[in-house]
Amino acid sequence: MNKIIIIQPTTSERVLASIAQCSYWLYAALKKKNKDVILYEDVTLLHMDEIFDYWGKDTLYLIELSNYPQIDIVNQIFLEKRNFYNMKCFGYSPLIQLYNHPELNYKEDLDVELIDGVFDFIFYHKDYKNEITFDGDSHIKITDGDTRPFVSVYLGVGCKRGCPYCCLSAFDYPYGDCSIEKAKEIIDFCVKNNFNIHFRNENFFHYKYLDELLEYLQGKNLKYICLSDSLTLKHILQKYGEDYLLSSGNFLTEIGLETIDTKVLNKKQDFSIVDCKLNLFWLTITFQPDETITSLNQTGEFLRLYGKQRHELLEGKGKGTNSTIGGLGQFFQYYHGTEFFKDLNQKGVILTSRPIRLYPSFVGYKFLDCKPYKYRRVSEEDKQWFDLYFPDVIPEVLSLIDGQKSVIEIIQDKNFKEISIDIKKLVVVAQLAKLGIIKE
d(CA 176, CA 189): 21
Q: CA gyration radius for the chain?
A: 23
pLDDT for residue 248 is more than 80? yes
d(CA 139, CA 133): 15
Count the helices and strands in the chain (H runs, E runs): 17, 17
Determine the pLDDT at residue 137. Answer: 52
pTM of the model: 0.88
Question: Out of 42-51, 65-74, 250-259, 294-303, which region has the weakest mean confidence (pLDDT)?
Answer: 250-259
Average model confidence (pLDDT) across the chain: 83
d(CA 295, CA 186): 41
Per-residue confidence at 420, pLDDT binned at 50, 70, 90?
confident
Nearest to 153 by CA among 129, 136, 174, 130: 136
* Residues 331-357, mean pLDDT to the nearest whole number: 88
The full set of domains in the chain, from first to last, is: 3-116 (3.40.50.280)
Alpha-carbon torsion (97, 101, 106, 108), positive or negative: positive
pLDDT for residue 322 is more than 60? no
Determine the pLDDT at residue 271. Answer: 52
d(CA 349, CA 332): 12
Nearest to 61 by CA among 34, 42, 80, 81: 81
Determine the pLDDT at residue 134. Answer: 55
Nearest to 55 by CA among 105, 1, 11, 102: 1
Determine the pLDDT at residue 39. Answer: 96
d(CA 232, CA 264): 10
Alpha-carbon torsion (181, 154, 131, 35), positive or negative: positive
Count other Cβ atoms within 10 Å, centred on residue 131.
10
* Residues 6-27, mean pLDDT to the nearest whole number: 79
d(CA 276, CA 252): 12
Per-residue confidence at 262, pLDDT binned at 50, 70, 90?
very low
* Residues 260-268, mean pLDDT to the nearest whole number: 43
Report which of residues 105 and 183 the model is more confident about: 183
Determine the pLDDT at residue 56. Answer: 92
Determine the pLDDT at residue 402. Answer: 94
Per-residue confidence at 268, pLDDT binned at 50, 70, 90?
very low
Q: What is the DSSP string of 256-318?
A: E-SS--HHHH-TTSS--GGGSSS-EEEEEEES-TT--HHHHHHHHHHHHHHSB-GGGBPTT-H
d(CA 48, CA 74): 10
Count other Cβ atoms within 10 Å, centred on residue 211.
12
Report which of residues 210 and 66 the model is more confident about: 210
Determine the pLDDT at residue 415. Answer: 62
Name 63's bridge partners: 7, 89
The answer to whether 281 touches 328, Cβ cutoff 8 Å, is: yes
Determine the pLDDT at residue 213. Answer: 98
d(CA 381, CA 365): 31
Distance, CA of 191 to chain centre: 26
Determine the pLDDT at residue 97. Answer: 85
Determine the pLDDT at residue 21. Answer: 83
Distance, CA of 294 to chain centre: 25
Per-residue confidence at 251, pLDDT binned at 50, 70, 90?
very high
Count of alpha carbons within 13 Å of 63, Cβ hemisphere only? 31
Question: Out of 52-66, 164-178, 199-213, which region has the weakest mean confidence (pLDDT)?
Answer: 164-178
Determine the pLDDT at residue 270. Answer: 46
Determine the pLDDT at residue 325. Answer: 61
* Residues 61-81, mean pLDDT to the nearest whole number: 89
Determine the pLDDT at residue 342. Answer: 87
The highest-confidence range among 92-106, 149-163, 412-426, by mean pLDDT, is: 149-163
d(CA 110, CA 113): 8
* Residues 249-261, mean pLDDT to the nearest whole number: 77
Give the pLDDT confidence of 91-122 residue by residue, as tens digits. Answer: 888 888 888 777 676 555 566 677 788 899 89
Instruction: For 308, list phi and psi in degrees, rounded to 5.
Output: -80, 155
Determine the pLDDT at residue 111. Answer: 63
pLDDT for residue 417 is more than 60? no
Report which of residues 173 and 399 the model is more confident about: 399
Nearest to 361 by CA among 303, 288, 312, 434: 288
